[in-house]
Amino acid sequence: MQDVSVLNNHLRPVSSRPSHKLILVRHGESQWNDSNLFCGWCDVPLSHRGEIEAENAGKLILEKTSLHPVSIYTSFLDRSIESAHIIASTLFPDYTTNPARYETKFVSSWKLNERHYGALQGLDKSQVLKEVGPEKYMFWRRSYDGVPPLAESSGSAGAIEARVSDPEILKYSTIATAKYKGVDQDELPRGESLEMVLQTRVRPYFEEVIRPDLLGTKDAECILVVAHGSTIRSLIKYLYNVSNENIQRLNIPTGSPLLIDVDENCVPVNEYTYLDPSGAKAGAEKVKNQGFH
């Protein structure tokens, strides 16, 4: 995992004034993470390991911070929502018996979705690497402005149907359009760079919705965002003013909560910290090497 101090070079000195707490968690491992496939907007559920990771994330938040989430933000994708509910069941003792009590805490938005990987969705990362070589593979996968080959429409995984025959993969290849009925279809992407994710949806959503919620938190409260690797990379780039070059080196592990303290202007007052640093380091290394093993 990269040296965080290299990334976070615009920090203010730690203030004695109360700060506001933001916890970011990438969803637990999905079935396609486990299979080494590009996932993006394909609505793939958690693997068994992912369910355990989400449960452990909740335990870490409970044991390491004792913070109480006043709002829990997720994407429209099942792996994000499922992880959030597992975390909630760990944080709130009566959640499983009285989930309705906590319904108002959950806020879902497609603007927190994973990056749309276009026509790469559903393809094996190792096979794509073999076909296009490491330079283009890493440009598509990790560069700030790298746009993958576009899908034919926002509601499909593009060329996947012509290249993938496994029915277990094909059943997730079409985006669940019912979830997006209230969304202007012209807004939905067919493929995105990280820059597009940040500038067209994550940054505006954070500034308009999450930021006011975060700045309204009090002592022992926090905002919890359970989202995706690209969503979290976007937020870290935005909050910490990470360079385009350094953001390529940032890998977000699944199911590992990180804590950010911000001041009254929503400026971070210190480096973000993983609640399980050693576990996060191992998880980030695993993400970094996807496709190469």
- Indicate yes or no: pTM above 0.85: yes
20 is in an annotated binding site: no
Residue pair 68/220 in contact (Cβ under 8 Å)? The answer is: yes
The reported pLDDT for the residue numbered 292 is: 82
Which residue in the list 27, 53, 192, 228 is annotated as catalytic?
27
CATH numbers and ranges of domains, the chain: 4-10+24-53+65-194+211-218+234-288 (3.40.50.1240)
Q: What is the DSSP letter of 152?
A: S
Which residue in the list 20, 53, 85, 114 is annotated as catalytic?
114
Residue pair 29/287 in contact (Cβ under 8 Å)? The answer is: no
Task: Calculate mean pLDDT across residues 148-167.
Answer: 60
Does 271 score more than 80 pLDDT? Answer: yes
Active site residue 135: no
Active site residue 20: no
142 is in an annotated binding site: yes
Residue pair 77/43 in contact (Cβ under 8 Å)? The answer is: yes
116 is in an annotated binding site: yes
Tens of pLDDT, residues 202-259? 999 999 999 999 999 999 999 999 999 999 999 999 999 999 999 999 999 999 999 9
Of 223, 199, 226, whose CA–CA distance to 209 is shortest?
Answer: 223
In angstroms, the CA 89 to CA 81 distance is 12
26 is in an annotated binding site: yes
293 is in an annotated binding site: no
End-to-end Cα, the chain, rounded Å? 17
140 is in an annotated binding site: no
In angstroms, the CA 248 to CA 5 distance is 15
* Phi and psi torsions of 258, nearest 5°: -125, 145
Does 100 score more than 60 pLDDT? Answer: yes
